[in-house]
Chains A and B, each alone.
Chain A
Amino acid sequence: MKNNITELGIKLLLLFPVLFLFSCHSSDQQNAENHNSTDTITIQQMQFIPASLSVNKGDTIVWINKDMVDHTVKEEKSNGFYSDTIHVGKTWKMKATDSASYDCTIHPTMKGKIVIK
C-alpha cells in the first residue's frame, strides 16, 4: 500500500513539469494569436488609403473597395500576392508575411505599400 502511494507521488512529480511546459506553450500560442489583428485599407477616390500601412507579421489586411469602379491588388514583384478583381462594394483579405509594394493592375497609377514592423 505504502509502495503504491510512493509510486503515485513520483508519477505526479514527473507529470507536473510536463503539464507546466504544455500550459506555457499553449498560453504563448494564444498570446501570439491574440496579437494578430486585422487592419483595413480603403480603396476610395482612386487611392489606397492609407497608401502605406505598418502591420505586424501575421496580421490580416482587408482591402475594401468603396470606389465607383473595380480594382485589383497585386504585389509588384513577380509571383507575389494577387487579389483578382475586387468589385465595387466587395473586399479581399490576406495575411501579411513580408513588406511589399503593390499596385492596381487596372489603374497603374494607384500604388500602395505594406511595411512589416
Chain B
Amino acid sequence: MKIFKFLTKSAICFAVSTGFLSFSANAQKKAVNLTDPEIASIAVTANQIDIDYAKIAERKSKDANVINFAQTMAKDHQSVIDQAVALVTKLGVTPKDNATSKSLKAGEAKTIKLLDSKSGKAFDKAYIDNEVGYHKAVIKEVETALIPDAQNAELKSLLQNVLPVLKSHLSHAEMVQKEVNK
C-alpha cells in the first residue's frame, strides 16, 4: 500500500514537474467549448514549446539520436506553425490566449527549469521522457478537444493533418527513449 502511495505521488510529481498536466485546464472544463481563436493559440503555443525544448536538447545533448530527434522536432513543429499561421491569417482569426495556452506556458517554464538542472545522460533521459509524455498529452488534447471543437472546416482539416505528424513523433521519441535507457 505504501509502495502504491509512493508511486502515485511520484507519478503526480513527475507529471506536474514536466508539464504533462498542462492540458488538464481544458480537460477539466470540457463543458466549455474552445473557440477557433483559442484553438489557434493552443496550436501555436504547443508547437512553439516543443521547439523550445528541442533547442535546449540541441545545445546540451551529446547523443546523436537525441540531437537528430531534436532537430526533427524543431523543423517539423516550425513547419506546422508556419502553416497554422498562414491559415489563421487567411481566415482572419486572431489567436486568443486562454486557460489551456496559459497552463501550457506555465508547464513549459517548469520543464525548462528541470532540463536546465540536468546534464549528460540524465539530461537525455529527462528530455526524451518529457517528449514521450508531452506528445501523448498533445495528441489527446488534439483528438478530444481541438478537432471536435474547431468550427472552421479548414482549421479542423489542418488539425486532422497534424495528428499523424504528432503520432509519428511519439513513435520516434519512444524509439530514442529505448536507446537512451539501454
Q: Which residues of chain A have a CB within 8 Å of any CB of chain B? A: 45-47, 67-70, 88, 106-110
Tell which of B2-10, B52-60, B73-81, B114-122 binds the partner. Answer: B73-81
Alpha-carbon distance A88/B75, docked complex (angstroms)? 12
Whether the Cβ atoms of A107 and B80 lie closer than 8 Å is: no
Whether A69 lies near B172 (C-beta < 8 A) is no
Known: A46-B165, A46-B168, A107-B168. A69 touches B175 (CB 8 A): no
For B72, what are the chain A residues with a Cβ–Cβ distance below 8 Å?
106-107
- A109 near B79 with CB under 8 A, answer no
- Find out whether the CB atom of B79 lies under 8 angstroms from the CB atom of A68: yes
Q: Which of A47, A68, A106, A109 contacts B171 (CB 8 A)?
A: A109
A51 to B: closest C-beta gap in Å: 14
Asked if B162 is at the interface of the complex by the 8 Å CB criterion, the answer is: yes
Q: Which residues of A contact B75 (CB under 8 A)?
A: 69-70, 106
Q: Which residues of A contact B172 (CB under 8 A)?
A: 107-109
* A110–B76 CA distance with the chains assembled, in angstroms: 15
In the assembled complex, how far is the CB of residue A69 from the closest CB belonging to chain B, in whole angstroms? 4
Q: Could you write out 10 A-B pairs with CB less than 8 Å apart?
A: A45-B161, A46-B168, A68-B162, A69-B80, A70-B75, A108-B175, A109-B171, A109-B172, A109-B175, A110-B168
| Chain B residues within CB distance 8 Å of chain A | 72, 75-76, 79-80, 83, 161-162, 164-165, 167-168, 171-172, 175
Find the A residue at minimum CB distance from B78: A69
Chain B residues closer than 8 Å to A68, beta-carbon distance: 76, 79-80, 83, 161-162, 165
Q: CA–CA, A109 to B170, complex, Å?
A: 10
- Residue of A67, A69, A106 ringed by the most chain B CB atoms within 10 A: A69
Contact B79 A88 (CB under 8 A): yes
Q: Which residues of B contact A88 (CB under 8 A)?
A: 79
Q: How far is the CA of A88 from the CA of B165 in the complex (A)?
A: 13
Q: A52 to B83: give the CA distance in the assembly, Å.
A: 30
Cβ B171 vs Cβ A69 within 8 A: no
Q: Which residues of A contact B80 (CB under 8 A)?
A: 68-69
Distance A106 CA – B80 CA, assembled complex (angstroms): 15
**A94→B164 CA distance, assembly (Å):** 27
Known: A68-B83, A68-B165, A109-B171. 9 other contacts (CB 8 A): A46-B164, A70-B76, A70-B79, A88-B79, A106-B72, A107-B72, A108-B175, A109-B175, A110-B168
User: With A and B bound together, what is the CA distance between A68 and B79 in angstroms?
Assistant: 7
**A46→B79 contact, CB < 8 A:** no
